[in-house]
Structure 1
Amino acid sequence: MRRVGNTMEAGALIKESRKKQSIRQDDIGEMIGASHLYVRNVETGKPTANWGGVFALCEELGIEIYFRLPKDRMNTDD
């Protein structure tokens, strides 16, 4: 498990996973209904990439996404 702090770090991990699986950008793009340009934008950390596509891309590559909520903020009475 790796901590991701920004879109560039997330994109680099997505690219690393895709390359380890020997999948081309245009092939993974076709699998999720997107272009290779979209995949490139995600992999280079473009912050305007849509969430739905990022989640689809991660799912297709077998990448699991977790969110850890801060415990101290969860126990407030606001």
Structure 2
Amino acid sequence: MIKEIKSVKDLGVVVRTIRREQGLRQDDLGFMASCSHKFIIDVEKGKPTVQTGKLLTLLAELGVSITVDIPENLREAVEQALAGDE
């Protein structure tokens, strides 16, 4: 399922819902993703200043990935920039 996320709060709702559906407690997920219980709470509440790297690790533990929809006229530039980072 692809869902457009329009706010940090939306992402928090997604994380909380998936965690609950997987039968995980916040502290269990924190242990799995190597982050604190407070970090999980902050994500689920939609705190806008959470660390991106930790958030990506957390999402991966839940089986969620993030996709970016790049405007057509910018795709080549982004591809080149990403190829240069490898």
Give TM-score scaled by structure 1 length.
Answer: 0.89
Name the aligned partner's letter for residue 40 of structure 2. V
- Deviation string, structure 1 residues 15-64 (Cα, Å, up to 9, x no partner): 11101000000001011111111001001110010001110010000012
Structure with more of its chain in helix, by fraction: 2
Residue of structure 2 equivalent to 1:69? 70
Partner of 1:20: 21
CA distance in 1, matches of 2:38, 2:32: 14
Count of aligned positions: 76
What stretches of structure 2 of length at least 5 have no aligned partner? 78-86
SS in 2 for 1:68: coil
- Structure 2 residue aligned with 1:8: 9
Deviation at 1:13, TM superposition (A): 0.5
Q: Which runs of 4+ in 1 moved over 6 A?
A: none
Q: TM-score of the superposition, structure 2-length normalised?
A: 0.81
Give identity over the alignment, percent. Answer: 32
TM-align CA RMSD: 1.5
